[in-house]
Amino acid sequence: MKLQRNAFRDYTAEQTLFVRRAMIAFFGILLLSGILVANLYHLQIIRYTDYSTRSNENRIKLVPVAPSRGIIYDRNGTPLALNRTIYQIELVPEKVENLEKTLLALRPVVDLTDEDIVAFEKERKRSRRFTSIPVKTGLNEVQVARFAVNQYAFPGVEVKGYQRRYYPYGSALTHVLGYVSKINDRDVDRLDKEGKWPNYAATHDIGKLGIERYYEDILHGKTGYEEVEVNNRGRVIRQLHEQSPQAGQDIWLTIDLKLQQYIETLLAGSRAAVVVTDPRSGEILAMVSMPSYDPNLFVDGISSKDYNKLLKDPNRPLINRTTQGAYPPASTVKPYIAVSALSAGVINKNTSLFDPGWWQLPGSEKRFRDWKHWGHGHLNVTKSLEESADTFFYQVAYDMGIDRLSEWMGKFGYGHLSGIDLVEETAGNMPTREWKMKRFKKPWYQGDTIPVGIGQGYWTATPVQMNKAMMILINDGIVRTPHLMMANKVNNVTVPWKQPAIPPVADIHSGYWEIAKDGMYGVANRPNGTARKSFSDAPYKIAAKSGTAQVFGLKENETYNAHKISELLRDHKLMTAFAPYDHPRVAVAMILENGGAGPAVGTIMRQILDHIMLGDNNTNLPDAAPVPSGYEGE
């Protein structure tokens, strides 16, 4: 049957409409395709570099690698601070089928405790499943060996080694070396401000005190990097490139370990400080502050119990008495005051004075007593030094006045930092008019000046300052800065420490230096010398100056009796000495707080000098603590 056309439909119009719609759709598709192509061009061509970089950053990670810290040696090459390898067992949860069963099986293998498991679970909750989490730290050799035998039974578990600082001689050098400990928020802020934080990206420890802190920049080294490829979950797929870290520089100190240990044994039980230097170079041969503490306690973080014990110890072991202990320097300063008065023209070598046992302030009834109540009789500068006559130096202080006295003692280093390469140092106090007004809101009186003439009153100083002043005297005014660094190694080249250039004190050819040194020689050798009993029979020549620093003031007619007062109120005993007299190669400054707990200060000084000059050593010295295997610096 033949279909017939519908007379009412306009096929031409429909065809035209279809063509129009098709064209619109075509151009629409073409427009959208053009936009898509344009965007694709923009992304793939124009923004290629940007998105390529972003993609690589998501795919490639830089993993920092910590450098090996430099070793610290004594002057003879004995390692004093080194790096030992500690072992810890780690677990990757993603690779362990049954975590609870694995931890249970590890208990007898590495002596896993409940505390270890609690710490592990705490760490696991804040870590990703594919990261390695420590299970137990500080494995011993037996535990490491036991795990190695059974490692096949523990997929996803492995033992890793890490470097930790170790101080084999414990408390013997704490106040010299200091210690390293965990980086805290204050360290991060400081490093960030100094632009050094990126170099600590892989480092957990930093020098906190002592040499470890002062020379942190050269001991630390330079962080290396591993360039690794990771997937979208952050898991490492492969290593692409490695830039090895640069190890920190090794350091050689001026310290003689055996001398340090010897002095420490002599001071056992005392609150004391000793600084031994070579006056020719300023090298510190020994620097002992007693009591001390074991720096290894701080390396992995000291417990609250141990730290509180140190904080509450009345003997204050945390204080470095050699650089932070501020004491009246007492009569040890009389040789320097003599040189100052001679140089300033206040006295000459023939100036004399009669000492009845006291000195009276002009225009006043105030009397200042001499330690020798019946007096020294006729005095000149040399005899005043030999017998440590207070009255002579009361008069000198009065004639000089506090302004000149403070100025001259400042030239000898008092009231200023010594320049030693330690951060932990106090400048002590060399009193001035301005200081008293600021401190007490009161003017300076003439009576304030008199006790300064014998190293008392408002004057305080550290043992290292006392030693530096003595080196200036020994060297006729040439200044030697006391220092602990002897040399360090840069690219296998030994670089010695250099003395800074400092102008000399007064005229080095004046001859006044010899007068003061001769007075110190008399202290140790002449019949009326205050320390002749300790030194006059020595087979080498010694020069010395003793001192007694009062902890509290006596009333005008009161007599000091050490047996009737508490230990902490007893006088401090001080002594400075150098030897041999003609060509000094050792200078020693010592203080025994409250008189010490053993022999007299002169006896200990003689033992130290004999040990250095004659090699005498009747004391058993402690050996280094046993060092676990896997350490650097042997």
Active-site annotation, residues? 331
Output DSSP code: residue 460.
B
Q: Among 513, 629, 634, which Cα is nearest to 578's?
A: 513
Measured CA to CA, the distance from residue 526 to residue 542 in angstroms comes to 11
Q: Among 326, 296, 384, which Cα is nearest to 574's?
A: 326
Measured CA to CA, the distance from residue 289 to residue 509 in angstroms comes to 36
Measured CA to CA, the distance from residue 339 to residue 187 in angstroms comes to 46
Beta 272-278 vs 586-592: how paired, if at all?
antiparallel
Report helix, strand or coil for 394: helix
Alpha helices in 111-170 (DSSP H): 114-125, 141-150
579 strand-pairing partners: 586
Question: Backbone phi, then psi, for 608, in 5-degree steps?
Answer: -65, -45
25, 35, 40, 441 from 30: Cα distances, Å: 8, 9, 15, 92
Q: Contact at 8 Å (CB) between 311 and 286? A: no
Q: Among 218, 420, 256, 443, which Cα is nearest to 324's?
A: 420
Report residue 211 as tokens: 């040499």
Long-range contacts of 94-99 (CB under 8 A, 24+ apart): 94/129, 94/130, 94/156, 95/155, 95/156, 96/155, 96/156, 96/157, 97/155
592 strand-pairing partners: 272, 573
CB atoms within 10 A of CB 623: 9
Q: Contact at 8 Å (CB) between 429 and 448? A: no
CB atoms within 10 A of CB 321: 27
